[in-house]
Structure 1
Amino acid sequence: MKTRYIPETLQRAEVDAMQGAVLLEFGANWCGHCMAAQAPLADAFAGHEDVAHYKVEDGPGRPLGRSFRVKLWPTLIFLRDGEEVARVVRPLKAGDISAGFTQIDPH
């Protein structure tokens, strides 16, 4: 599991072409809601270490976040073979996040 949001380096076409289970997490390192979600995310991530995890630093004018219509942080987007299958916004409980993992990762 990644621990810091990094400035946007992915392009939407790259994301759409990704194979397998992927978690895109949009947020910012200074965001209180994002910090609060990290412990439940770590709990939910346990057992799903094979899921590729990208922490994307988001903000106004960032094209990747806009292409996914991200409005609040953190927004977790669960992808399977480049297709969105689940989304969780501002999670506070590991169970809310686990439901997304269940849809993309059979483990």
Structure 2
Amino acid sequence: MATVELTTENFDKVTGGDGIVLVDFWASWCGPCLRFAPVYDKQSEKHEDVVFGKVDTEAQVELAARYDIRSIPTLMALRDGVIVFSQPGALPESAVESLISQVRALDMDDVRKQLAEHASHEH
């Protein structure tokens, strides 16, 4: 499956559904981003059940600001509309593979419970 270009118009629709969505925040002037792109594309072909999105931080400044992206590339993973991972840095292919396995293995009921507990402690 090819990567999907994410914009402010389609981001919430693409990332808010069930299943796993990876998001690569990148820019054309960023060397590590350009080196990471083929790794990301290759993974998108191996994992057809995962949506691989890309956000061009130059074109989508609002999205980069919404998620406080300060360093690129940043890879974010969502499952069932919940952000479960976000980390800057170009990952090697084995790390992307490992991340996908870990996100697949999550107990989302447990994740939502922890999020609810965390939110209740903040008030």
The reply to whether TM is greater than 0.5 is yes
CA distance in 2, matches of 1:7, 1:101: 19
**Relative to structure 1, is the Cα distance of residues 100 and 87 closer, same or farther in structure 2, using a 3 angstrom cutoff?**
farther
- Structure showing greater relative contact order (alpha-carbon pairs closer than 8 Å, 6 or more residues apart): 1
How far apart are 1:12 and its partner, in Å? 5.9
8 Å contact kept, 1:27–1:74: yes
**Relative to structure 1, is the Cα distance of residues 61 and 43 closer, same or farther in structure 2, using a 3 angstrom cutoff?**
closer
Tell me which protein shows more helix as a share of its residues. 2
Q: Which runs of 5+ in 2 are unaligned?
A: 106-123
CA distance in 2, matches of 1:54, 1:17: 13
- TM (norm. structure 2) is 0.66
Cα deviation, 1:12-68, whole Å, max 9, x if unaligned, reads 643563221101111123321111112332444453121112111113972212121
Q: Tell me which structure has the larger Cα radius of gyration.
A: 2
CA distance in 2, matches of 1:52, 1:60: 20
CA distance in 2, matches of 1:12, 1:44: 20
Provide the residue aligned with 2:92 in structure 1.
Answer: 93
Provide the residue aligned with 1:69 in structure 2.
Answer: 68
CA distance in 2, matches of 1:46, 1:13: 23
2:37 pairs with 1:33 = no
Provide the residue aligned with 1:2 in structure 2.
Answer: 3
- TM (norm. structure 1) is 0.74
- State the number of aligned residues: 104
CA distance in 2, matches of 1:41, 1:61: 19
Relative to structure 2, which stretch is displaced further, 28-37 or 72-81? 28-37
How far apart are 1:104 and its partner, in Å? 2.7
Cα RMSD after superposing both structures: 2.8
Provide the residue aligned with 2:103 in structure 1.
Answer: 104
CA distance in 2, matches of 1:87, 1:48: 19
Provide the residue aligned with 2:120 in structure 1.
Answer: none
CA distance in 2, matches of 1:46, 1:16: 19
Q: Which runs of 5+ in 1 are unaligned?
A: none
The residue matched to 2:46 in structure 1 has which SS? coil
